[in-house]
Amino acid sequence: MKAVDLHVHSTRSDGTYTPSELVSYAVQKELRAFALTDHDTIAGIEEAMLASKAQPVEVIPGIEFSTEYMGRDIHIVGLYIPYTDPAFVNRLKDFQDSRILRNQKMCKALQDHGIDITYEKLIATYPDAVITRAHYADYLYRHGYVKSTVEAFERYIGDHAPCFIPREKITPVEAVQFLRSHGAIPILAHPVLYGMNRKALETLVEQLTNAGLIGIEAIYSTYTPSDERDIRAIAKKYGLCISGGSDFHGANKKDIDLATGRGHLFVPEEVLDKLIIRNSGDSADTKLLFSDMDGTLLTTDKKLSDSTRFAIDRMIKKGHKLILSSGRPLCNMIATKEALGLDYPGMYMIAFNGAVVYDCDKKEIIFSKPVPEELVQKLFLKAEQFKVQANTYYGDYVMAKGPSAELDFYLKRLNLRPYYSEGLLELKETPPAKVLVISLDNEPGLHALKEYAEKHYSKELVAEFSASFLLEFYHPQAGKGNALRFLANHLHVPLANTYAIGDQENDISMIQAAGTGIAMKNAAPKVQEAASEITKYDNDHDGVAGIIEKYLN
């Protein structure tokens, strides 16, 4: 079995081998493939591709994004990036511009410390390279300001040195979403190096998995056997493929060699095969339609028209999937699905505005992000102050402190049952998926509550309207957009093959997350602004059917 190396750097970032030299070295090493993953640049890929022609080695076009997460530098490797796609290249330029600005500021800081350096001199010394701190260290050493590159970091450019300028970076979630949206394979690079405890690392991995992460670097030059076992366990827990690489930099990391790392590294070619299968696989041609229910899929009188049903039938026969996405509670969605006769194999439902994802075949919840009980208590108290009705959920019941006209209206609207509890003490056993605040005659009170919550709980809650009289609060990692990304990754379907359609503000995150985001003709103005397309007809005239016929039949 041949080896692969899925993490390699060239002179176009901070390595010492040119892209062509890497190809020759990989042939010498008898590698099946290596990924050129220079920092934030694709400048060396074309040279490597040309050099590999007629050579017995595959060059995988890649990149390594430097991102920021809770004060840490987190690296996301992208494999099989579309490096010739203008849309990809233009978006990448935005990332690179932040690096250029940081380098200009660092040069100014070094000048203030008596060093004769400018950004122009730096790029002239290292042409065609993406400038990193390794280049600064080499420049200072070459010009006699320090006796070693280590001293350069200690005196001038290390994390706590006087000339260090932090760079404004994208988040790892944004990097993963960007790569997935262009069909690339996102990998969390060398997670052991971040010094995070197990709980913190798994929190990051869970967020990235929901965003579309495909792999995690479980085989790496500096890992101990225990490190590798730990990362493999995390990969298994979150359904990720493993990846591996040397992180070869040539002379800049003298103890790490291509393919073999510190002498014991071996990444079998099956690792690459599994990544490729996961990224394409059986679901490469499958399309997912995420449809809101009220005001979108259903008519005003909560019916499913014959034309829309016929369009869905044809879509399902072609191998595509329908995902019902609603702010409704799960029990009501299940009952409505059965009443409408939407009995298709492979169906999923997104309930409570993305706080719950349900597998209809297995009859089990596969994703859940409840609201902490203490926040529910606070929202109930604030709702009383703003004279609006707060409700939450307890099992199959809608929970409130007591009866009201608003609650009665909501219960009849969705055929639900009430559960009254003055203290809401039961919530400690079953944290609710969301809090729903209703007012039939006090919309200013709803807006005032939303403004208050966004000011005081913005990091703990999301507040959105699902109708002019319904204000919903849910976990920041819930939301229809996050649920869409979770399901696309769970089903191994590229985001480009996802379609989302809705009519209210709580649909916006879903519309923006999808490969194609669509607003109903009857949608709120903000929803139409967020969408790339608006249906020709409204929900009472088969607007969804028209979209299915256009994209999924």
CATH class of 4-103+168-279: alpha beta
What does the H/E/C string look like for 241-301?
EEEEECCECHHHHCCCECCCECCCCCCEHHHHHHHHHHHCCCCCCCCEEEEEHHHHHCCCC
Whole-number pLDDT of residue 423: 67
CA 61 to chain centre: 21
* Interatomic CA distance for residues 355 and 350, integer angstroms: 8
Q: Which residues pair with 39 in a beta bridge?
A: 64
Identity at 549, one-letter amino acid code: E
Helix residue ranges per DSSP H, 478-542? 480-490, 508-513, 525-530
3.40.50.620, 3.40.50.1000, 3.30.1240.10, 3.40.190.10: CATH of 373-474: 3.30.1240.10
Q: Is the dihedral of CA 532, 536, 542, 546 positive or negative?
A: negative
* Interatomic CA distance for residues 428 and 431, integer angstroms: 6
Q: E strands within 326-396?
A: 348-351, 356-359, 364-368, 389-394
By DSSP bridging, strand 516-519 and strand 185-188 are unpaired
Distances in Å between the Cα of 185 and the Cα atoms of 483, 486, 551 are 20, 15, 25
CB burial of residue 77 (10 Å; 0-12, 13-18, 19+): buried
Q: Do domains 288-369+478-551 and 373-474 have the same CATH topology?
A: no
* Interatomic CA distance for residues 52 and 43, integer angstroms: 16
CB 266 within 8 A of CB 3: yes
pTM over 0.85: no
Q: CA nearest 292: which of 335, 340, 327?
A: 327
Q: Which residues pair with 76 in a beta bridge?
A: 65, 188
Strand order in the sheet with 397-400: 417-420, 397-400, 389-394, 435-438, 470-474, 462-467
Whole-number pLDDT of residue 134: 85
3.20.20.300, 3.30.379.10, 3.40.50.620, 3.40.50.1000: CATH of 288-369+478-551: 3.40.50.1000
Assigned token pair, 553: 């039949």
DSSP symbols for 425-486: GGGGTS--S-EEEE-SS-HHHHHHHHHHHHHHSTTT-EEEEEETTEEEEE-TT-SHHHHHHH
Whole-number pLDDT of residue 81: 95
Whole-number pLDDT of residue 282: 46
Q: Which residues pair with 438 in a beta bridge?
A: 389, 470
Whole-number pLDDT of residue 460: 87
User: Which positions of the chain have pLDDT values less than 70?
Assistant: 128, 130, 167-168, 280-284, 423-430
CB 473 within 8 A of CB 453: yes
Q: Per-domain residue ranges for the chain?
A: 4-103+168-279, 107-157, 288-369+478-551, 373-474
* Interatomic CA distance for residues 350 and 324, integer angstroms: 6
